[in-house]
Chain A
Amino acid sequence: MIHWLILLWCLVALPSIAETDAQRETQKIQPHDIHLMADMAVMHEGRIKPMESVARATFRKVAGRSAPDDISALEWFVAAAFTPSVAMTQEVIAMGSAPLKAWLGFADDKRKNFSFLETASALDARLPVLQKMMDKPAADQSSLEKEIIGLYAAVQDYSHLLTSLTLMLPDRFTLSPALQTQLGLEKKDSYTYLEIYRHADFFMNALKKIRAKKNNVALYTAQEMNIAQISYALSGMTATGDGNTFLRVVPTGAEWSSLWQLVNDGKGAPHYRALMEQWKKLAWLYYHHHPQQWRETLANLKRETGKLSPQPLNTLALEVFYHHANLYAWAAALYGVVFALILLPLPANTSANKPARIPFHQYIFAAAVVCHALSIVLRMIILGRPPVSSLYESLLFVSLVLAVITFVVGRQRALYMAAGSLFCAFLLLISPVYAPAGDSMGVLVAVLNTRFWLATHVVCITVGYAVAFLAGILAHLHLWKKETVLPELLRSMALSALLFTSVGTMLGGIWADQSWGRFWGWDPKENGALLIVLWLIWLLHGRMTNMLQPRAFAAFLACTNIMVAVAWLGVNLLGTGLHSYGFTNAAGVGFVAFCVAEMIIITFLFFRSRHHAS
């Protein structure tokens, strides 16, 4: 955190820098030139990803939303890296909660977003208290403390972004003509950190001599003042670069390095020279507005990075497409359209087993499934693993399974399609709530990093959740109108759900035996899976022995949705057990509301159907 103060001094206190940044506002590379950086390879959070993904993740972490209002996340990101002294005064850091604002001394401020300058200064003034909060175990931290620590992490990332390229930005240092001559420098208005760093020992010695002679800064000559300023800025910028591993763009091995790491951590080597030169040139072209050369340099830079990278970089463009296409949003919107087409204008269509009057909705539903499936396949290709490693991914996958089964089983029945599309849209819409802060395509936690078990246990159990959920939805429909869903279908769906959840649970036990050394440990997640299995066995046996009448069977089967919600989402709220990759604090209220609403709806439907029968 101490670096922030140095950063403020380096970037704001030097008047020459602030002025040139203001002048630069009028000379910008065009947005379409910036967007050529989208598929630039960066190692971020353990994975090589396009700059587009890093930009989106960083903006989401800092600003709490997906993109700025007027520009794209990538434009914001590039501007922050290339013109940090402008970016640090822009109001971008999200501060939604009133207690957080009050803690930082912004209680009377109505704004929702604050600048880096304001936030970093406020955090810096509260550093001792903040340090105490961070020293506490996570379980003992209050929700406000967690929020403050989260803000601190976001601001730290942002500060690293702002300083990621400062070593090669062309306007960092202004030298008097006399100093330029003394050092034998090419005559220029300003110099980069790296250009001046070559003469670091000169400035160090010169400052030592000046300070030995004069105690009072007011007595310094213009030349001495220039030397003092540059010496302090040099050491300040070196300090801000220390530990800055944010923008890892140099393939120095399995772990990539940031440009600062090449300079400060001894990661440099002769074969990185070309890459370093291209980055310097890119910074110069950004400042001097040469779009054509910018494009050429960028192409060279990408080629050079590809040559040095030991990892293949062939999914970067695909990942950029994945972001831009936003297929999940399209799928959710199309599911919504299907629901509207079936139910809203033509309520008569909901009747019984008749085909819908507008079969057009089937095509739209099919298009939604294609969008949905395509986005999941893209995700699998990009990540090289099944998309079931986090709560967010399982929501996407389960909703796809739900959609496919709905389409296959119920495409001729409008009511099935309406219910299926409603739930698919619902799951897709709530999924971002469970997405991790920053990048949703994170690397796997160690325990999940076995492709075989991901493809068997996790896929099997999530398919089980999806079928159980669908069985619950069909049970709702059965209670609403008996003829819409035949009891045999309910039973077969319950059996299918039982098959997948029980096989998935057993496979999980075998995996646990291999990973954790025991088959069963009464972990909350394990108990949740067992709960669904036991619930379905109880229901099916009750029905087979006629202890449960069809209506009661349907009512209890509808309650399976609650069981699924408990096993899938509810146990994650406990934040305990070994399945820590799924932990979340998000949407606890939503989960409780869902369970209560389901209880009320099922009770209502049950008594309504009993009343109709009598």
Chain B
Amino acid sequence: MLPKFLVLLVVGALVALACGVDYSLSTHAWVQQRVSAESAEQKNTAQAVPDFSFEDIDQSRAQSLRDFAGSPVIINFWATWCAPCVAELPMLIALADAQRDVKLLLISQDSSQKTIDDFLERLRRNNPSLPALKTSPNIFVVWDENKRISHNLFQTYKLPETWIITPAQTLGKKIVGLASADDVRRALLQK
């Protein structure tokens, strides 16, 4: 009887079509890309860091990020009114003092330079073992008065935030919130 075969044929063809379309979709390049989207995080952090110029807080040293090419750079965004920033600052300074090949950029979001100066003086007084920041060759304190570096360039609004920049001047790990010495050391070891 023709209809019986016809029905089976049509339905079979539909199933085969569904399987075929499914197979072709699964082998299609963009579906595979969709599946491999998990690797996207790495893609985002492998971006080159845009260059920017800055002056040390006492305006004694004017430099740009590119001057540090070849060395790992820690960029820490902080402010005197931010408690976790204040808590992690001595650790970062001590770490940079111990590893002179690492450059440390402490970018402050405070609204006045005097506040930063007063704070640094207090910090030194309370932590006599810390090096003098103004003469340290690899530590730079920068006042980001107009948020040119933090808000405009790095899109950093909440503090503290610490970026590790690789010697090749690409974005390495980003630590949001209070960082521990182990976090930073581990991040520095990552390529």
Chain A residues proximal to chain B, CB less than 8 Å: 194, 197-199, 201-202, 204-205, 251-254, 262-266, 268-273, 276, 308, 310-312, 314-315, 377, 380-381, 384-386, 401, 404-405, 408-409, 451, 454-456, 459-460, 463, 467, 488-489, 492-493, 495-496, 499-500
Residues A467 and B11 in contact, CB atoms below 8 Å apart: yes
Contacts of B7 in A (CB 8 A): 405, 408-409, 467, 492-493, 496
Q: Count A/B pairs, Cβ under 8 Å.
A: 147
Interface stretch, picked from B93-101, B133-141, B156-164, B181-189, is: B156-164
Residues A270 and B155 in contact, CB atoms below 8 Å apart: yes
Residues B14 and A463 in contact, CB atoms below 8 Å apart: yes
Listed A/B pairs (10) with beta-carbon separation below 8 Å: A204-B81, A263-B157, A266-B174, A266-B177, A269-B47, A315-B30, A408-B6, A409-B7, A463-B11, A463-B15
Chain B 4-47 interface 0/1 with A at a Cβ cutoff of 8 Å (1 = within): 10111011001100110111011010110110011111011101
Residues B3 and A492 in contact, CB atoms below 8 Å apart: yes
Residues A266 and B79 in contact, CB atoms below 8 Å apart: no
Contact of A254 among B37, B79, B156, B177 (CB under 8 A): B37
Give CA–CA (A67, B114) in the complex, Å. Answer: 57
Residues A455 and B18 in contact, CB atoms below 8 Å apart: yes
Chain A's closest residue to B8 (CB) is A496
Interface stretch, picked from B53-61, B66-74, B123-131, B146-154, is: B146-154
Give CA–CA (A265, B38) in the complex, Å. Answer: 20
Contacts of B147 in A (CB 8 A): 198
Residues A271 and B158 in contact, CB atoms below 8 Å apart: no
Give CA–CA (A197, B79) in the complex, Å. Answer: 14
Tell me, rounded to whole Å, the shortest Cβ–Cβ distance linking B39 to chain A: 7
Residues B10 and A268 in contact, CB atoms below 8 Å apart: no
Asked if B83 lies at the interface with its beta carbon under 8 angstroms from chain A, I say no
Contacts of B64 in A (CB 8 A): none
Contacts of B41 in A (CB 8 A): 253-254
Contacts of B37 in A (CB 8 A): 254, 310-311
Given contacts A201-B111, A276-B155, A459-B18, are A252 and B44 in contact (CB under 8 A)?
A: yes
Residues A268 and B11 in contact, CB atoms below 8 Å apart: no
Residues B47 and A271 in contact, CB atoms below 8 Å apart: yes
Give CA–CA (A599, B168) in the complex, Å. Answer: 77
Residues B4 and A312 in contact, CB atoms below 8 Å apart: no
Residues B49 and A270 in contact, CB atoms below 8 Å apart: yes
Contact of B158 among A251, A266, A386, A456 (CB under 8 A): A266
Residues A254 and B40 in contact, CB atoms below 8 Å apart: yes
Contact of A198 among B25, B39, B146 (CB under 8 A): B146
Give CA–CA (A493, B4) in the complex, Å. Answer: 7
Tell me, rounded to whole Å, the shortest Cβ–Cβ distance linking B83 to chain A: 13
Contacts of B151 in A (CB 8 A): 194, 197-198
Contacts of A495 in B (CB 8 A): 4
Give CA–CA (A262, B14) in the complex, Å. Answer: 47
Residues A405 and B31 in contact, CB atoms below 8 Å apart: no
Tell me, rounded to whole Å, the shortest Cβ–Cβ distance linking B118 to chain A: 14
